[in-house]
Amino acid sequence: MRLIGGRLVQAALTLVGALTIMFLILRLTPGDPVQIMLGDYRTPELEAALRARYGLDQPLPVQYLVYVGNILTGNFGVSYWRNQDVTTLVASVLPYTVQLAVAAIIVTCAIGLPLGVVAALNRNSFTDVAAMMIALLGIAAPGFLLALLLIYVLSYSLGWFPVAGAGEGTNLVNQLRSLVLPALALGFSSAALTARTTRAALLNVLNEDYLRTARAKGLRPLAILRSHALRNGLIPVLAVLGLQLGQLIGGAGVIEIVFSRPGVGKLLIDAILSRDYPLSEALLAVLLTSVIVINLVTDVLYGLVDPRLRVT
């Protein structure tokens, strides 16, 4: 309980600090939303009316208190540009980002875990070097570059998958086909990091005395790997996967833009460029809360799995 309580306090303080910094960055960034909305038609009277309508004529501390109240009530008002309820807008795109993040973490596990295990079991061999070269390439290559390559090869040249969109309004098969390339582009770099972490974690475990004892007893290598090495060696990987899931949710915007997918990231970039404060604040609040909650759950689970961390 001490572990969970301490992590909850840390997460709450982190969330408050992050949301406050985000609010200040949005409000102090050059660019006046009222002037952007009015364009060439702005007059002092129209500007004053819009500022009063959206509360932009209030001092910054007052605006911050309104912002805190919006977060606590879940009511962020109306979008400046889209003239729609912000909560409805966020709810309409959030499922697409969640789908993409979950699919990307599946890609991460499907590629990264086997790659790391194979590299660790064949240490200093050609297989090990080849696996780590693939991992290094995944870490170094930008996600948008991989996305463009996947579009050119698998969509444009071979026609296996759709070029853009999320398969809205079609059957489940088409929606899944539209999800494959974005998930690969988003999850490959995370898979590369997971592979390197898995390799390092297993190498630390494979030289332990209890594994040598298991070999001396005549246990099969596969049984030793499954029952002993993986069970203890993959504990650090659990923490990495939790952190990666949070990063995947927060970093999906670029991939959503490349593939013209609806999502939180794509909508957030549009909102920031148009200085749409209510929509930007709501989207950032959702992303920050999601990342912090995922990291909190991962941290607690890691502490429960590894008893050595329960005293910290």
| pLDDT one-digit tens code per residue, 51-99 | 787 777 788 888 888 888 888 887 888 888 878 888 888 888 888 888 8
Q: Is residue 50 part of a domain?
A: no
Indicate if the pLDDT at residue 304 is higher than 70.
Answer: no
Residue 245 resides in a domain: yes
Report whether pLDDT(44) > 80: no
Tell me the pLDDT band of 214, cut-offs 50, 70 and 90: low
Residues in the chain: 312
- Determine if the pTM surpasses 0.95: no
Neighbouring CB atoms inside 10 A of 234's CB total 20
Confidence of residue 226 (pLDDT cuts 50, 70, 90): low
Domain-embedded: residue 113: yes
CATH number of the domain to which 148 belongs: 1.10.3720.10
Domain with 235, as residue range(s), is 91-275
Domain membership flag for residue 84: no
Q: Minimal CA–CA distance to 96: which of 237, 252, 219, 251?
A: 252
pLDDT of residue 216: 65
Model pLDDT for residues 105-123, shown as the tens digit of each residue = 898 888 888 888 888 778 8
Average pLDDT value for residue range 18-41: 78
Q: How far apart are CA 68 and CA 19, in angstroms?
A: 9
Task: Indicate whether 243 belongs to any domain.
Answer: yes
Q: Average of pLDDT values for 252-260? A: 83
Q: Residue 286 falls within a domain, yes or no?
A: no
Give a yes or no: residue 241 inside a domain: yes
Tell me whether residue 82 is in a domain.
Answer: no
